[in-house]
Structure 1
Amino acid sequence: MRTTTGRGLQPNVLGTFDTIVMAVAGSAPAYSLAATTAVLFGAVGLAGPAALLYCALPMLGIVLAYARLGRIDVNAGAGYSWVGRTLHPFLGFLSGWALVVSTTVFMVAGSLPAGALTLSLFDPALAENTPLAAAVGAGWFLVMLLVVLGGARLTVRAQLLMSGIELLVLVGFVLAALAHRGHATAFDWSWLGFGHFDGASGFASGALIAAFYFWGWDVTSNLSEETRDSRRTAGLAALVGVAVVFLLFEACTISVNVLLSAGQIEAAGANVLAVLGQEIWPGVGGKLLVVAVLLSTVATLETTLIQVTRSLFAMGRDRTMPAALGTVHRRWNTPWVAIAAVGAAALLMFGAAAAAGSVSRILRDGVAAIGLLIAFYYGLAGIAAVVAYKSVLLSSVRHFLLGGVWPLAGSAFMLWTFVESLGELSTTALTLGLGGLLTGLVPMVVYWRKGSAYYRPARLDAVSALAAADPFAGDRTRTRRADESLATDF
């Protein structure tokens, strides 16, 4: 429930196609593959395609949960609002805080590769200069900060250009990989099975990394207040976006397994797509894929900025964080105070990253920490959807499976991954992930004691919420229309 009034975000700016573009860009196909393929290979070897497949299935359950929750509560805070109104406000705040921390960590984990990739286009030796990469990455970050400040329409136009080129390059190289004759390893169907995992903890480690691949599609929910017919559009766009990136991830990961040796993958690190490009098209292919990764990285910086600033906007509006964060710019209709706050925090982190070590090390720890936080807040959202729709779960097989079993299974998978992977992570990753999450207890307690209305929520129930969405009908008509709307749900 929105607990304050005032100038809000600009409604009806984005259409269905725009929102699908944002969902795909949020998952950043080329960046995710470049930043994470070597990390995934190091964790599970040739089982990368299996890890992606078995994470995609429960991830679709979380997508369904988001789609159904978005039908009954259009809120820029997304899980922050939904979990708070169904499970408990404390869990809701920590869910939103997990997103804030994960996106803030990503400002460095995403910007550093953008800087390194830019430098590699001119001189590959410069790419390992971490301070210089941090400076160039900070420049890209500031450009995207200004684009996000300019509003949702400008953001989508930038995404159409960057993501369009990125997807064309990726699809072209996938097709070229299929026709390529120089194979390092023959394709094996066991790559899609469980045989290559090192027990339950090994599988959990792979799943945590795979969750990072998919992460970002939920930007459609954070944009819901700015989307036309958002009760349906946000969920549909997320579903389409996850399907598109899953196919790309599987095709590219299998191509890497087939065309590159284990030594090449490990040596390449975050440069694995450039090595793949060189293998397919020597001389030019590597550069083209570097450009695709660079565009993808910059594009996902933009969507990540949207997620964190819209979440902080919702928190400021609800007085669970400083109220200034809920301030909207009069001209651009964007939460400019939240954008400025995130920009300042990220620039401080760039300074710390410049002295922290190599780009590869920062990426490895950052990806693991972000994966931990993703598993936490996605898991809570899956449970929230089941609770919100509990009154209709037994009304049909579709509601039972799509509204109950699948989201709950997705939630159980995410939370199991969260717990199981704790013993596998480095101290740095645990500090960033769990430590960052625990810092949220401070603002949570402070604003709870100040009496924020967020901590006295109106309970979220699917039938009553959809009935209330039609204020011009009588009680019986509203209930009937709510039932009809639920019948057409995902």
Structure 2
Amino acid sequence: MRSSTGRGLQANVLGTSDTVVMAVAGSAPAYSLAATTAVLFGAVGHAGPAALLYCALPMLGIVLAYARLGRIDVNAGAGYSWVGRTLHPFLGFLSGWALVVSATVFMVAGSLPAGVLTLSLIDPDLAGNTPLAAAVGAGWFLMMLLVVLGGTRLTARAQLLLTGAEIAILLAFLLAALLHRGAATAFDWSWFGLDGFDGTAGFASGALIAAFYYWGWDVTSNLSEETRNSGRTAGRAALIGFGVVFLLFEAVTVTVNVLLSAERIEAGGANVLAVLGQEIWPGVGGKVLVVAVLLSTVATLETTLIQVTRSLFAMGRDRTLPERLGAVHRRWNTPWVAIAAVGVAALVLFAAAAAAGSVQSVLRDAVAAIGLQIAFYYALAGLAAVVAYRGLLLRSVRDFVLGGVWPLLGSAFMLWVFAQSLGELSGTSLTMGLGGLLLGLVPMVVYWRKGSAYYRPAPLCATRALAADPPPSTRRPRRPRRDDGVPATDF
């Protein structure tokens, strides 16, 4: 793909293992657990494992939708392109805009804990200083901004180091938890049942928070133009990464339920993993898990920067936002104008967050707002996959279930969570969530009136796309075909 300036992103940089690491890092296991375990417990109590499970099932339908859509349209904008070519360009733009807004808000929601954690390792008394935490978090953010600016290869190497260390620490503590004696609460299979929720509103609140846990695996689709054999690699990596983080989330959430009392979970707040570490390994355990959370936070800042800057790059390339956003650096092949724009916007938000109050309150409102936007653009992607593959859904049971029923159920679930949550969120969360989304109507109308070609798309149809794209001999020489000559799909 070429940018509006004639230069495109560097192709064939990432392999399968690189992309799987990106998917895991995007969901940020340690950070997500630290930032939202107490929030999830406050919403659903010991039913956290159930919320994560019942959100994972429809979320898997969205993962399948991304995998199938990425097979027929390799685009750094991902859902922005797919939704625009299947449902409507206006919905496609708002889908991309929702990702941009949620990712930009996350720059603060992610960087503030990084600042707090860094200060807690130096001097615990400094951790409560919100302005200082915002300044240190901004420093981490700027460091990751430079890494992302330096190119995809450098980004992949940094991710391998950060995420590898994070996962190793989490697995070591899970193993130690199995050997730990004493429990605050006996394990109960009811934690995975539906009875633990306070009606449908309580279930929706838990599902919205759980959606934030999983968010980030789709970074593989935004990197598709820079991935080898991206039509298959991006989707497979997302599936593998999603499976890994699901198991980690469930295992750690159950461990927290067993080893920590309700009072300690709620008091722990964003430091709940440090409390868990102290319980498992008194003395240094808390600090080791703080290091894991810090690594995870920095790693997911990097993947989120990739998502938002690639989305802005695609929008600039299509002239649905200022054309300069589609500019690519001559040396590093990265969308440097988009990276600079995100940097400026995030620093403004850092200043606002520093004056907003406690880190915990900022996190709580940001998580809910981001969850609302995630539900919106994931739901649209699920619908887009069903529409794009509608001509192939009745060819086999596999196509019907994996390409139709599951993505459609995932989309319906996300829309239901979106609607149910509107009456449960605080005014601040609604302002960030819905207000940020509605703000996108302004550039959408402006660039539509300017005549951007994006608003006159070529429809995305899997039947035509797969028939026109026979597999290269280097990928799968004897790839099976259906009776009508259309290649079989992987997902």
Normalised to the residue count of structure 1, the TM-score between the two structures is 0.97
Q: 2:263 matched to 1:273?
A: no
Distance 1:251 1:7 in 2: 45
Tell me what 1:398 maps to.
398
Alignment of 1:41-120 (within 5 A): 41-120=41-120
**What CA deviation, in whole Å up to 9, does each residue of 1:253-289 have, x standing for no partner?**
0000000000000000000000000000001100000
Percent identity of the aligned residues? 82
Tell me what 1:175 maps to.
175
Tell me what 2:476 maps to.
none
Structure 1 residue 488: Cα displacement: 3.9
Contact between 2:205 and 2:421, CA under 8 Å: does it hold in 1?
A: yes
Tell me what 1:467 maps to.
467
Structure 1 residue 486: Cα displacement: 4.6
Any idea what SS the aligned residue of 2:228 has? Answer: coil
Tell me what 1:213 maps to.
213
Change (3 A) 1:157 1:370: same
**What CA deviation, in whole Å up to 9, does each residue of 1:177-226 have, x standing for no partner?**
11111200000000000111000010000000000000000000000000
Contact between 1:2 and 1:318, CA under 8 Å: does it hold in 2?
A: no
Distance 1:99 1:181 in 2: 44
Alignment of 1:350-369 (within 5 A): 350-369=350-369
Contact between 1:464 and 1:479, CA under 8 Å: does it hold in 2?
A: no
Contact between 1:214 and 1:245, CA under 8 Å: does it hold in 2?
A: yes
Distance 1:361 1:484 in 2: 57
**What CA deviation, in whole Å up to 9, does each residue of 1:13-71 have, x standing for no partner?**
00000000000000000000000000000000000000000000001000000000000
Structure 1 residue 484: Cα displacement: 6.5
**Counterpart residue identity of residue 75, structure 1:** N
Tell me what 1:122 maps to.
122
**Counterpart residue identity of residue 264, structure 2:** Q
Tell me what 1:456 maps to.
456
Change (3 A) 1:482 1:155: farther
Any idea what SS the aligned residue of 2:38 has? Answer: helix
Which stretch shifts more, 33-42 or 171-180? 171-180
Tell me what 1:432 maps to.
432
Which stretch shifts more, 434-443 or 177-186? 177-186
Distance 1:23 1:348 in 2: 28
How many residues align? The count is 486
Distance 1:437 1:342 in 2: 17
Tell me what 1:489 maps to.
490
Any idea what SS the aligned residue of 2:333 has? Answer: coil
**Counterpart residue identity of residue 431, structure 1:** T
Change (3 A) 1:20 1:479: closer
**Counterpart residue identity of residue 442, structure 2:** V
Distance 1:141 1:327 in 2: 22
Distance 1:295 1:455 in 2: 41
Alignment of 1:371-410 (within 5 A): 371-410=371-410
**Counterpart residue identity of residue 200, structure 2:** A
Contact between 1:467 and 1:481, CA under 8 Å: does it hold in 2?
A: no
**Counterpart residue identity of residue 308, structure 2:** V
Any idea what SS the aligned residue of 1:334 has? Answer: coil
Any idea what SS the aligned residue of 1:228 has? Answer: coil
**Counterpart residue identity of residue 171, structure 1:** L
Contact between 1:97 and 1:437, CA under 8 Å: does it hold in 2?
A: yes
Any idea what SS the aligned residue of 2:406 has? Answer: helix
Contact between 1:64 and 1:235, CA under 8 Å: does it hold in 2?
A: yes
Report the aligned-residue RMSD.
1.8
Q: 2:161 matched to 1:161?
A: yes
Distance 2:253 2:356 in 1: 29
Distance 2:472 2:29 in 1: 44
Q: Which runs of 5+ in 2 are unaligned?
A: 474-478
Q: Which runs of 5+ in 1 are unaligned?
A: none
Any idea what SS the aligned residue of 2:25 has? Answer: helix
Tell me what 1:237 maps to.
237
Distance 2:254 2:208 in 1: 19
Structure 1 residue 341: Cα displacement: 0.2
**Counterpart residue identity of residue 416, structure 1:** W
Tell me what 1:251 maps to.
251
Contact between 1:111 and 1:138, CA under 8 Å: does it hold in 2?
A: yes
Change (3 A) 1:458 1:45: same
Contact between 1:3 and 1:454, CA under 8 Å: does it hold in 2?
A: no
**What CA deviation, in whole Å up to 9, does each residue of 1:382-437 have, x standing for no partner?**
00000000001001000000000000000000010000011110000000000000
Contact between 1:467 and 1:479, CA under 8 Å: does it hold in 2?
A: no
Contact between 1:463 and 1:482, CA under 8 Å: does it hold in 2?
A: no
Distance 1:485 1:186 in 2: 54
